[in-house]
Chains A and B, each alone.
Chain A
Amino acid sequence: MATLDSKIPSGPLAEKWRKHKTEIKLVNPANKRKYEVIVVGAGLAGSSAASSLADLGYKVKCFVFHDSPRRAHSIAAQGGINAAKNYQNDGDSVHRLFYDTLKGGDYRAREANVHRLAEVSVNIIDQCVAQGVPFAREYGGLLANRSFGGAQVSRTFYARGQTGQQLLLGAYSALSRMVGAGAVDLHTNSEMLDLVVVGGQAKGVIIRNLVTGEISRHSADAVILATGGYGNVFNLSTYARGSNATAIWRAYKRGACMANPCYTQIHPTCIPVSGDYQSKLTLMSESLRNDGRIWAPKKAGDTRAPAAIPESERDYYLERLYPSFGNLAPRDIASRAAKRICDEGRGVGSTGLGVYLDFADAIKRLGEPAVRERYGNLFDIYHEITAESAYKAPMRIYPAVHYTMGGLWVDYNLMSNIPGLFVLGEANFSDHGANRLGASALMQGLADGYFVIPYTIGDYLAGQKPGSRPAADAPEFQQAEANVRGQTTRFLATKGKQPVSHFHKKLGKIMWDRCGMARTKAGLEAALQEIPALREEFNASVNVPGSADTLNQSLEQAGRVADFLDLGELMCRDALTREESCGGHFREEHQYPDGECKRDDEKFGHVAAWEYQGEGKTPVRNTEALNYEFTKMSLRNYK
């Protein structure tokens, strides 16, 4: 059994981080250059961590599978980033952001982590503005804000509908500065295929160059994974096609615990699916819910055009069910409500899997130019995909997989249960509990990279003798490399009949049906039969053409889908074991009569951290109790 010590500092909640920073060990400036740190991933968390650590004087190697760090999928975040600046004078505070985030996560996150996140949120905005991130401004020149789901204040900073892009370009520019200065050794087109553990500590990685196929070993004093989430288990999602779980999954197989894998976020406002060739679902930012009103026909099977349905026959169901938050109810709640409407036969569009997001009132109130200024680029995207104008008719939207709250288990220092292995951003499980609020992912990625890891990594490195990292030809490295080469050879030698995409689509369908917005014991048990059978079929009949020593996108996909097959099974196992409903995890057996989540704090007020036991063996479920010292776990209410 793994030991899961959260290392939460003692003392009052608001003092914990400040106190911790003054008590943890430091590495002296002259020694920093003797330590080498590997950062895998270059999204918000990875780029900000790599540049900040290099700025401190550590030797940093950064690996990214994209052809440039600027392409990481943080770039696609649209709506904004939260910070407790209270620039609007509307009653916001660090405590309120903390409380909203903890409640938004349905009381399944750690108090201390969430409070730290709220504290450093204010520094993030300062940092980004200093880097030249062009946030939206008012005519007086000060920063503008808007509101997002699950909050009753306006604390979201934004850059048109491209906030993630601008924040990533800020972090990328900081990383570029350090690469130019020779302080970061950047490796693009480089995918991590194994973690190397020496003497129980993470000391290196095995990398495949995606262009040349070359496999290389890299040793370091510490390894940071900032490789994002695993939503592509579902095949169809708002993730980029390349987003994958390989780095965290291979670390899991080396002993890192995987926490709460069943906590997935299904975003309520995405463009509905149009056909089975589809590769990608496109998000329509939550910010649209500031001015758009969500509705469905009151009558089941109403196929009239939206304009022909009179006001009295429309059901603005979020406003009806959640009057105090209305259209800005949190994502899990809004998604489930949309699913219930469609299950009742009231869905719209040719598939019946959609509801309306209507801007007619906003256009009447503000005028079309003002709506265009706020949301023009999103309306354009909608038009490109559907060939429909949202200025003239309501958008059709449906929930889609968007984010994973689960991830590798980390302590308060963001270190996993393998010493020396740190996990940042979406790849870890730490801050969002069972549901993430809108505009909090960007906040967490940058908090981890700019303001947490630069302090906490020192505490670990100070205990490592300078120059003590193993050589890259140590037996552990050779074994890990052989492991990677073996897998590549197996894929290429199978020469089956079906392309990798065939298995990915099948897995995605199992996951969506059995482990999506609503889960049941019977469904999850069925999935635990179906997935191993699919894996067997994959191993026997996958077709991976081409060779290993060149750019081979089929080979890349094969490795990622193999990992998704394993991870999907673990997600179902986790969802089956968690006999309660909370946030994004909804078990039909556990609900109140009005369809809301029924938590069981007594039995499940804990983190489930799964520990790998070897191929084909059932993993061990470790738990970390969530001790709420300052907040009461109460019923989450948005009515």
Chain B
Amino acid sequence: MVAASTLKTFSVTLRVWRQAGPAAAGAFVNYPAKDISPDMSFLEMLDVVNDELAAQGIEPIAFAHDCREGICGTCSCTINGKPHGPGKGVATCQTYMRSFSDGDTIVVEPFRARAFPVVKDLVTDRAAFDKIQQSGGFITARAGSAPDANALPIPKGDADLAMDAAQCIGCGACVAACKNASAMLFVSAKVGHLGLLPQGQAERDRRVLAMVNTMDTLGFGSCTNQYECSAACPKLISHDFIARMNRDYLTASLRSAFKPAPANTGGGAA
């Protein structure tokens, strides 16, 4: 079922970040990548290089990957300084070698952010995103208690906008692209998705307060509105969601500050 590609192959030099473990010092190391087909994906090129390294007795380069079709959010390299490489709106796994030329030196490094410590080589620990979700990124809906799905019509515009935000693959490119390593695009996408839907209203205030507070405690930086995040996002999620979240956060903060206190603590209606 396999036939040779009709296109010409070429060679590049990889300049790859190697780091043995979280506490070890890392450094760039050069490796040749020869006879590369332009139809290879970037990760397939790494597969080929890794098999050659192993044959020479060098430990292969650890890199994160899984679905290889741009949806799981596992792959995460910064290629030539850009998270997910040169293409717009694609992940590393959807980057093809036809984007590079013979003789290029390609610099490959992990996503850099304080909240994403390096595990090994190009692999980082992005558990901080899960922690943010666990603090409030949900609508509480116990299995068995849901009303009929069409009982609550949702305007198509709202549903479509919620879907635009919901497409986030949780890869962390927004954090890696931001000079402050801010997670605002990631958090605002989730807050936007759930807050736009009528089902998400009951927990709307609680959600935005909890998620933003968790984000702050995990070591992500602040947003200074440079929008590098949305430019690097493989799903091109709009930074407008950040503005929307800021409004939500302000409203929720005010509402929580002015909530009437219960009568037994001295507040309440007369």
Contacts and interface: CB of A to CB of B under 8 A. Distances in A.
A559 B235 CA distance: 34
Contact of A174 (B50, B64, B141, B159): B141
A139 B200 CA distance: 20
Nearest to B171: A71
Given A160-B163, A279-B41, A134 B72 contact: no
A546 B74 CA distance: 22
Interface string B24-53: 000000000000010111011001101100
Contacts of B142: 55
Contact of B138 (A131, A236, A279, A282): A131
B37 A275 contact: yes
Interface in B125-175: 125-127, 129-130, 133-150, 152-156, 159-160, 162-163, 166-167, 169-170
Contact of A132 (B59, B67, B68, B139): B139
A130 B146 contact: yes
B51 A499 contact: yes
A352 B148 CA distance: 49
Which among A52, A132, A177 has the highest number of chain B CB atoms within 10 Å? A132
Interface stretch (A164-172, A289-297, A629-637): A164-172
A142 B153 contact: yes
Interface in B93-111: 94, 96, 98
A151 interface: no
A180 B136 CA distance: 8
A280 interface: yes
A104 B170 CA distance: 36
Give the bracket for the number of chain A residues in contact with chain B: 35 or more
Interface string A535-577: 0000000010110001101100000000000000000000000
Contact of B120 (A141, A143, A277, A551): A551
B60 A48 contact: no
A593 B160 CA distance: 49
Interface residues of B, number: 86
B21 interface: yes
B90 interface: yes
B143 A55 contact: yes
Given A140-B153, A543-B55, A66 B66 contact: yes
Given A143-B149, A273-B1, A241 B65 contact: yes
A73 B96 contact: no
B3 interface: yes
Interface stretch (A27-35, A304-312, A317-325, A380-388): A380-388
Given A132-B197, A132-B199, A166-B166, A71 B73 contact: yes
B242 interface: no
B70 interface: yes
Interface string A338-352: 000000000000110
Contacts of A518: none
Contact of A275 (B40, B64, B153): B40
Given A141-B153, A551-B120, A123 B193 contact: no
B6 A275 contact: no
A282 B96 CA distance: 14
Contacts of B90: 384
B193 A134 contact: yes
A543 to B, nearest CB: 6
B127 A501 contact: no
Contact of B96 (A137, A143, A384, A450): A384
A361 B41 CA distance: 32
Residue with the highest number of chain B CB atoms closer than 10 Å, among A123, A125, A274, A387: A274
B141 A67 contact: no
B94 A384 contact: yes
Contacts of A134: 159-160, 162-163, 166, 193, 197
Contacts of B94: 381, 384-385
B254 interface: no
A126 B2 contact: no
A279 B54 contact: no
B3 A241 contact: no
A136 B60 contact: no
Contact of A68 (B65, B119, B127): B127
Given A277-B44, A499-B55, 13 more contacts: A126-B149, A173-B139, A174-B143, A177-B134, A240-B66, A240-B68, A273-B3, A275-B37, A277-B40, A277-B47, A385-B94, A551-B62, A554-B54
Closest 5 CB pairs of A and B: A141-B153, A180-B134, A130-B146, A173-B138, A130-B141
